[in-house]
Structure 1
Amino acid sequence: MLGLYSIKNLRISTCVLIVLGCIAVLQLLLLYGSYNYKCISKEDIGKYLYMYLNPKVVKRLDKPACDYEMVYKQVHKDDWSIIEQSNQFDPSGIVNGSFVPEDCNPQLSIAILVTYRNRQSQLDIFIPFIHNFLRRQKIHYKIFVIEQHDAKLFNKGLLYNVGARQAARELFPCLVLHDVDLLPLSAANLYACLLQPRHLSASLDKFRFVLPYYGLVGGVLALTTEHFRQLNGFSNKFTGWGGEDDEFAARIMDHNLEILRFPPDMSRYTMLVHQQAPVNGQRFRLMSETVAAQDGLNSMHYRSVSVSQHPLFTLIRVVT
C-alpha cells in the first residue's frame, strides 16, 4: 500500500510540475512575442499598401490626393478616450455608414464588416468611436453591421461570408473583418489592406499587448475581396465561440499567403468588457475535417437576409 501511495503521489507531483512548466513556457512565449513578432517597418508600409478605390467614388480634379504617409508615419500616443469619442460625436459627412473625405481624393476604399448580436451597449460605443477614428485617416469607407437575428448559436463565419458578399456587390476592393468589442488605440494604425492579408489587432490589452501566436487572425483582419474569394471565405460550420478564425488562418497559409502586421506600438487595441459566448466544444474536430473548397462562400445556408440603410451603418440582418 505504501508503494502504491508513493507512486500516486509521484504521478500527481509530476502532473503538477508539467502543468507549471507549461504555464511558464506559455508566459515566456507571450513575453517574447510582444516585442519580437515579425512585422513591416513603418518606413516600408507604403510598399505594401493595396491602393484601390471603389469605382463608384468620383475623383475631383480640383482636389489633391489624400496623403496616407502622414497617417502611418505620425508620432502618436494611445490617447483615445472612449467616453469622449462617444459623447462628442458629430455625424457630419456620414451617409448610410459611408464616408468620403471632402478636402482630398481618397486613394483606397474599405468595407468594415462587424458581426453582431445582442451587444447594443458595445455597438453604441463602437460606431461613433470608429467613425471618429477613420474620418481622420481620409479614407473612403463604409460600415456594415451583420446581425444574426435568431436564437441559434452564433455563427460568425457565416455572417462574415454574407457581409463580404454584400461588400463585393457594392464594389469594395478591401474588407476589414472587425469584432464589435475592439477599439484601436494608435492613430497611426492606417485601416487599409496590404498586398497580403493583414492582422491589425496584434497588440491587445486582453493579452497584455502580446501576440500569443503567429497564426492568430482573430479580432481585426484586413484582406482584399479577391483574396477572400480565393479562400472561399470562412467555414460555415463553426457555431458558438472559437475555431473559425484559426481555421481561416489555415486557409490563408494553405494558399501560400502571408499574414502581415504593423509594429506593436501601431497595433494596440483595447477590448470592451463582455460575457464570452458558449465555447464550441467541437472546434478542434471541425478544424481537422473542414475542406475549404467544399465549405465557405459556395455553401452558405440561411433562411433569410435583409439589407437596410441606417444613418451610421448599413445593417445586414441574417436569419440562419
Structure 2
Amino acid sequence: MPKWAIKTRLLQLRLSTLIFVVLCLIAIIQLFSVYGTYNYAHIPEDTIQVELYKEISPDLTLKKAKHDCKYEDILTSKKSTHTWDLSKKYNVFSAQGIENGSYVPGDCNPLFSVAIIVTYRNRQKQLDIFLPYMHNFLRRQRIHYKIYVVEQQDEKPWNKGMLYNIGAKRAISDKFPCLILHDVDLLPLDESNLYVCTQRPRHMSASIDKFRYVLTYSFLVGGVLAIRSDQYIAVNGFSNKFTSWGGEDDDFAARLEAYHLEVVRFPRDMSRYTMLVHHQEKKNAERLRIMAENKLNREHDGMDSLYYTSIEVKPQRLFTLIGVKL
C-alpha cells in the first residue's frame, strides 16, 4: 500500500476519533443541561458559619470546665469517602459513647443538638450499614445527636410523611431544636457536610451518585433535609395523605414555599451522597391529584392530625425505635 494512502487513513482515523469525542462531549453537556443542575445555587462557603443554627437541647448539661466545640476544621475539610471504601467505614465499629442512639462529645461542649429521624420498613440490610456508618461519621463532628428509627410495623401501604410526623413529634417532645429527615439508603461522603440545621431549611443530599451528582430539580427536598423544629411545627409537618412512593416530599416543598421558607444548600463538594441499592417502592398513582388538592387545603393535614393504631418506643443501643402500626 502506498505511503500516502496510509497517511490518509491515519488522518481520517484521527479526524473521525476527534469528531466522535466532540459529539460525546456535546451529548454529555446536553444531558446535564436538560436533566439536573450540576452547579446549583448554594450558600457561599465563607458565609456558612453565619447561617448555622446554633441551639442545644435545654436538657443537655454542659460542663463549665470544658470549652465550646469548634467546627471550622470540619466545614473546611476536603476529605471525602470513595464509594469503594464504604465497607471500611461501617465494618470497623465501636459503640463507645452511644446510648439509645444518642451521643455527646466528651472533650468539648457542643453548640448543636440534632435529632436524626429515619423512616423505615423491611430494609434490615440497609439499616445494618446505615447505623454504624452514620455513628462513625457523626461522632467526628462534635455535635449532640440522637438517631430515631420510625418503623412502620404493618402491611398497610407505606406512608413516609406520617412516619416523619410521628418521629418529629417525639423528637420535639424530647426538646431537640433541629430535625434531620433522613432516608435509610443515603450515606454522606463529604466530611465537611456538617449535620446541623441552618437558619433556613437545608436540603443536604443535593448531589447523589445515582443521579450523577446533579440536583435533579430546583425544589427537591427529598433524601436528607435539615429543618428547625419550630419551622416544622409552623408548616404542620408532612401531609398524611400520601401512601406508597412519591409526592410527599414535593408537597412538603410546597408547604415550605407557602410559608416563605427558602430552602438552601451547601456547595456540591460538601453535599455528596451514595445511595444503597434497594427495591423500588410502588409509586403512588394519585400523588399529583393529592398535591393539587393540598394546595387548596393543607392547614389540617399534618402533624396535628396524626392517626395510628398503636405506637411503642423502644430504646436500643444504636437508636431509639419508634414502632408504629397505622
TM-score normalised by length of structure 2: 0.89
Which of these residues, 77, 97, 101, is aligned with residue 74 of structure 1? 77
* 1:44 paired residue number: 47
- Paired with 1:152 and 1:24, the residues of 2 have a C-alpha distance of 43
* 1:159 paired residue number: 163
- Paired with 1:25 and 1:288, the residues of 2 have a C-alpha distance of 31
Q: CA contact under 8 A between 1:29 and 1:212: conserved in structure 2?
A: no
1:65 correspondence with 2:71: no
Q: CA RMSD in A?
A: 1.4
1:24 shift after superposition: 9.4
DSSP 3-state at the match of 2:214:
coil
1:77 shift after superposition: 3.0
1:106 correspondence with 2:110: yes
* Matching of residues 158-237 of structure 1 within 5 Å: 158-237=162-241
> Structure 1 unaligned runs (5+)?
1-22
Q: Which amino acid aligns with 2:178?
A: C
* Matching of residues 80-99 of structure 1 within 5 Å: 81-99=85-103
State which drifts further: 58-67 or 277-286.
58-67
- Paired with 1:278 and 1:316, the residues of 2 have a C-alpha distance of 24
Q: CA contact under 8 A between 1:231 and 1:292: conserved in structure 2?
A: no
1:245 correspondence with 2:241: no
**What is the number of residues matched between the two proteins?**
296
CA deviation vs aligned residue, 1:197-231 (integer Å, no higher than 9, x gap)? 00000000111000011100000000000000000
1:308 correspondence with 2:314: yes
Q: CA contact under 8 A between 2:117 and 2:179: conserved in structure 1?
A: yes
1:289 shift after superposition: 0.4
State which drifts further: 227-236 or 73-82.
73-82
1:30 shift after superposition: 3.1
CA deviation vs aligned residue, 1:297-320 (integer Å, no higher than 9, x gap)? 111111011101000000000100
State which drifts further: 302-311 or 289-298.
289-298
Q: Which amino acid aligns with 1:65?
A: D
- Paired with 2:108 and 2:82, the residues of 1 have a C-alpha distance of 26
DSSP 3-state at the match of 2:38:
helix
Q: CA contact under 8 A between 1:82 and 1:125: conserved in structure 2?
A: no
Q: Which runs of 4+ in 1 moved over 6 A?
A: 23-26
TM-score normalised by length of structure 1: 0.90
Q: Which amino acid aligns with 1:235?
A: S
- Paired with 1:254 and 1:24, the residues of 2 have a C-alpha distance of 34
> Structure 2 unaligned runs (5+)?
1-27
* 2:324 paired residue number: 318
Q: Which amino acid aligns with 1:108?
A: F
Larger radius of gyration: 2
* 1:124 paired residue number: 128
DSSP 3-state at the match of 1:34:
coil
- Paired with 2:300 and 2:147, the residues of 1 have a C-alpha distance of 29
